[in-house]
Amino acid sequence: MIIGVCTLEFHLPACRSLKEKRRFLNSFRTRVSNKFNVAVSEIDHHDLWQRSTIGVVSLATEREPIDKMFQKVLREAEHQGEAQLISVDIEFL
Protein backbone atom coordinates (compact mmCIF):
# COMPACT_ATOMS: atom_id res chain seq x y z
CA MET A 1 0.00 0.00 0.00
CA ILE A 2 1.27 3.48 -0.94
CA ILE A 3 0.27 6.56 1.10
CA GLY A 4 0.52 9.94 -0.59
CA VAL A 5 0.72 13.19 1.38
CA CYS A 6 0.39 16.53 -0.37
CA THR A 7 1.04 19.67 1.69
CA LEU A 8 -0.33 22.95 0.30
CA GLU A 9 0.56 26.31 1.81
CA PHE A 10 -1.73 29.23 1.03
CA HIS A 11 -1.54 33.00 1.49
CA LEU A 12 -5.01 34.48 1.99
CA PRO A 13 -4.57 38.24 1.42
CA ALA A 14 -8.30 39.08 1.54
CA CYS A 15 -8.95 37.44 4.92
CA ARG A 16 -9.34 39.91 7.77
CA SER A 17 -10.42 37.45 10.46
CA LEU A 18 -10.25 33.79 11.41
CA LYS A 19 -13.93 33.54 10.47
CA GLU A 20 -13.15 34.54 6.86
CA LYS A 21 -10.25 32.10 6.79
CA ARG A 22 -12.47 29.25 8.05
CA ARG A 23 -15.05 30.05 5.34
CA PHE A 24 -12.38 29.61 2.65
CA LEU A 25 -10.97 26.46 4.28
CA ASN A 26 -14.36 24.80 4.69
CA SER A 27 -15.25 25.51 1.08
CA PHE A 28 -11.90 24.26 -0.25
CA ARG A 29 -11.86 21.19 2.00
CA THR A 30 -15.41 20.15 1.05
CA ARG A 31 -14.88 20.70 -2.67
CA VAL A 32 -11.55 18.81 -2.83
CA SER A 33 -12.58 15.91 -0.60
CA ASN A 34 -15.84 15.37 -2.51
CA LYS A 35 -14.30 15.78 -5.97
CA PHE A 36 -11.18 13.64 -5.43
CA ASN A 37 -12.16 11.33 -2.52
CA VAL A 38 -9.23 12.35 -0.31
CA ALA A 39 -8.78 13.36 3.32
CA VAL A 40 -8.16 17.12 3.77
CA SER A 41 -7.25 19.01 6.93
CA GLU A 42 -5.57 22.23 8.03
CA ILE A 43 -2.27 21.13 9.59
CA ASP A 44 -0.49 24.41 10.47
CA HIS A 45 -0.98 28.15 10.99
CA HIS A 46 -4.29 27.67 12.80
CA ASP A 47 -4.23 31.10 14.46
CA LEU A 48 -2.99 33.20 11.54
CA TRP A 49 -5.61 35.01 9.44
CA GLN A 50 -3.81 35.14 6.13
CA ARG A 51 -1.87 31.90 6.05
CA SER A 52 -2.83 28.24 6.04
CA THR A 53 -1.16 24.90 5.47
CA ILE A 54 -3.45 22.12 4.31
CA GLY A 55 -2.66 18.42 4.16
CA VAL A 56 -4.24 16.15 1.54
CA VAL A 57 -3.86 12.39 1.99
CA SER A 58 -4.70 9.47 -0.26
CA LEU A 59 -3.75 5.81 -0.49
CA ALA A 60 -3.65 3.24 -3.23
CA THR A 61 -1.82 0.09 -4.26
CA GLU A 62 0.45 2.02 -6.65
CA ARG A 63 2.02 5.48 -6.74
CA GLU A 64 0.81 6.55 -10.21
CA PRO A 65 -2.92 7.02 -9.45
CA ILE A 66 -2.11 9.06 -6.35
CA ASP A 67 0.35 11.23 -8.28
CA LYS A 68 -2.20 11.91 -11.05
CA MET A 69 -4.87 12.78 -8.50
CA PHE A 70 -2.50 15.15 -6.64
CA GLN A 71 -1.81 16.96 -9.93
CA LYS A 72 -5.55 17.55 -10.27
CA VAL A 73 -5.72 18.78 -6.67
CA LEU A 74 -2.85 21.19 -7.42
CA ARG A 75 -4.69 22.58 -10.45
CA GLU A 76 -7.74 23.12 -8.24
CA ALA A 77 -5.60 24.85 -5.60
CA GLU A 78 -3.89 27.11 -8.15
CA HIS A 79 -7.25 28.41 -9.37
CA GLN A 80 -8.48 29.71 -6.03
CA GLY A 81 -9.52 33.31 -6.49
CA GLU A 82 -9.15 34.35 -2.86
CA ALA A 83 -5.97 32.40 -2.10
CA GLN A 84 -2.46 32.20 -3.49
CA LEU A 85 -0.68 28.86 -3.45
CA ILE A 86 2.83 29.61 -2.17
CA SER A 87 4.33 26.16 -1.68
CA VAL A 88 3.67 22.49 -2.42
CA ASP A 89 5.29 19.35 -1.04
CA ILE A 90 4.38 15.82 -2.13
CA GLU A 91 5.62 12.74 -0.27
CA PHE A 92 4.99 9.02 -0.71
CA LEU A 93 5.25 6.59 2.19
* Among 3, 13, 6, 19, residue whose Cα is nearest residue 83: 13
Number of domains observed in the structure of the chain: 1
Tally of CB atoms within 10 A around 88: 14
Residue 81 is predicted with a pLDDT of 79
CATH number of the domain where residue 41 is located: 3.30.70.1120
Q: Which residue range(s) make up the domain with 8?
A: 2-92
9: pLDDT strictly greater than 90: yes
| pTM for the whole structure | 0.90
In which band, very low, low, confident or very high, does the pLDDT at 80 lie, cut at 50, 70 and 90? Answer: confident
Supply the mean pLDDT for the chain.
Answer: 94
Task: Provide the strand spans (E) within 1-93.
Answer: 2-11, 39-44, 51-60, 84-92
Specify the pLDDT at position 40: 97
